[in-house]
Structure 1
């Protein structure tokens, strides 16, 4: 067997491309904000795309049966979650799935439960649909951020219809344990809620001994009340191709979702389908090597941040995102402060907590070390 070598240390200059990440700031600022990695896509994806382009025709496409089979086999192999092909709905992205879910299953008389801090499109989708929100702050237990079901039980008003999950949780990096998901399910059953679970980071588990558990895989009760959103986009760095899936076992929920999807969410283009199929079928070796590389970056970031005064962070179990506590800096806008010293980071305000910044460490070791030196210099100037 030929050993495959992938070079994650290779720097690819994206500053002169149409990269959203690398064109937000001027060239003197290292962009470590949006969840977009700087690693070249797996060779298997590039090869599959080139072959299709060389065919010469890019007309209307259909979802291949092979892709559904790959998804079914992957979910069983990785999570022992057995799904049926009709449960899979193809959508143009997880953010589309969030918006469709909120509009399909709530009215302006319902509230949506959102744990914060959280990926901003959860909040934006609720605002766009003009739904009221119930925020519940994640609590810190044993160096992990988790949902506080005790708080939720005390703040239910009767008009709640939907609870939004992010597992693994962006931006805090928590991968929920089985018993934690059971507690959430108990709460959901008590108040007859629907669960929308964004599991886009499910492949990116960094902590030894941790296993991603899809919420819907708990049991039949969890399946019947859930919409699970997944995509290869983060794991294989193909976010520029619009592809995701919604897995909805409950036929009534699935029919409603499909009804709202008609004419609004476009059909998936053939290149996105080819990339997804290649990623999930042939990209696992590359994914394993990437995770090893990300673990090194995660540990470098964790130890460097916690050596400095004024800032700290917990070690993320999953994702390639660091959630850094800047509350002791006593600065109104920490992200703007660090930008002055050459690092472009995400403001915690957009996630629901202005005392934090989010740091994307899916970059080369050299870029990370350079950024950490700039953070150290910025802190020393306080």
Structure 2
């Protein structure tokens, strides 16, 4: 029988899957952009989906009690975070919850504080809702991307500041906030009475020996002022099945959130519910192997690019390398590497055009080919 790790070496042809990731570019470009892994889903998930499909009736579906129990067990086991099933709000995705939170809990002209560069929907949500986006610049501090703490407090102290949008683990910087750092952020939220919306979708993708701390688990005050957003989609490569959840312990906030979504945001897809339950109940062995494989890929990128003008900061979590291309003598690093046959994400989408983001959630053989193209393009450039 093939080992768990060997499963991740398989190169799966996605050309007939209507894949956003693989259909964006021509066949001669290796796509390494959107946060979508190329790995086969856990066998337990595929079996659960096949069994459900065999039942043959796909009517309206409510949330399975077993899924609620699986999420509770996962949060308790992984993060020592006990929650009530009544605190869960089940969603078809995390992005809609970000936008809904901004629109429900702030007014036009209010200020939303966001440490960045960051995943672009954390900045789009305030902008599209007519709110004042105040981005706090994150800088490398002892090798980790962290906010400017003085600027952070100054932003929170503004009279029209109403909310902090937090991304933890951070996308694209890969930082896993330590408890003491989260306590600083909580102190600001408490001092200036701000709501915290914490995007924690990558919390199960920690590559270092670090424990993720859900912001709402810090203390009772944090629990009462936080909307936590999580999903199995990144961890188990289930994004196309459309399932996420919010943890909202404050009854008033949860009621307002549900009122805001009524008639606009539907209940999750039946197959998404099925896949999520299987992943949380039975996907632990697959998940452990995934983390081992991603860690190897991460370290390989650092090793291969060490002698190039590109700077790869250490990534504590996610499968998305945040690469500084400012020393590369080109006007547009994204366009440069696209011409070389590698489709990365442009840093400007996250707030810094000096960077590119590279998705290494793929087989080692594909990663090796992509890095060869990157290195070769740089060598040719340097010889000009």
Q: TM-score range by the shorter chain?
A: over 0.9
**1:327-346 equivalent positions in 2, closer than 5 A:** 327-346=326-345
2: distance between equivalents of 1:304 and 1:182?
37
Residue 148 (structure 1) shift: 2.2
2: distance between equivalents of 1:130 and 1:332?
32
Partner of 2:223: 223
Partner of 1:170: 171
1:347 has 2:383 as partner: no
Determine if contact 2:342/2:370 at 8 Å carries over to the other structure: yes
Residue 6 (structure 1) shift: 5.5
- Superimposed CA distance per residue, residues 160-218 of structure 1 (whole angstroms, 9 cap, x where no aligned partner): 111011111010111110111011111111111000001111111101x2111101111
Determine if contact 1:6/1:289 at 8 Å carries over to the other structure: no
Partner of 2:54: 54
Gaps of 5+ in 2: none
1: distance between equivalents of 2:132 and 2:151?
18
With normalisation by structure 2, the TM-score equals: 0.96
**1:68-83 equivalent positions in 2, closer than 5 A:** 68-83=68-83
**1:23-38 equivalent positions in 2, closer than 5 A:** 23-38=23-38
With normalisation by structure 1, the TM-score equals: 0.97
1:321 has 2:320 as partner: yes
Determine if contact 1:60/1:269 at 8 Å carries over to the other structure: no
**Secondary structure class of the residue paired with 1:133:** strand
- Superimposed CA distance per residue, residues 323-343 of structure 1 (whole angstroms, 9 cap, x where no aligned partner): 000111243321011000000
1: distance between equivalents of 2:256 and 2:151?
31
1:145 has 2:142 as partner: no
1: distance between equivalents of 2:275 and 2:188?
38
Number of equivalent positions: 379
Greater shift in the superposed pair: 118-127 or 187-196: 118-127
Determine if contact 2:5/2:293 at 8 Å carries over to the other structure: no
Determine if contact 1:149/1:187 at 8 Å carries over to the other structure: no
Partner of 2:288: 288
2: distance between equivalents of 1:34 and 1:74?
26
Residue 3 (structure 1) shift: 7.8
**1:173-252 equivalent positions in 2, closer than 5 A:** 173-207=174-208, 209-252=209-252
Determine if contact 2:4/2:289 at 8 Å carries over to the other structure: no
Greater shift in the superposed pair: 192-201 or 119-128: 119-128
Partner of 1:380: 379
2: distance between equivalents of 1:94 and 1:161?
21
Residue 5 (structure 1) shift: 6.7
1: distance between equivalents of 2:305 and 2:220?
43
Partner of 1:363: 362
2: distance between equivalents of 1:51 and 1:378?
48
Gaps of 5+ in 1: none
**Secondary structure class of the residue paired with 1:307:** coil
Instruction: Tell me how large the CA RMSD over aligned residues is.
Output: 1.3
- Superimposed CA distance per residue, residues 33-83 of structure 1 (whole angstroms, 9 cap, x where no aligned partner): 000000000010000000011111011001011111111111111111111
Determine if contact 1:322/1:360 at 8 Å carries over to the other structure: yes
Residue 15 (structure 1) shift: 2.1
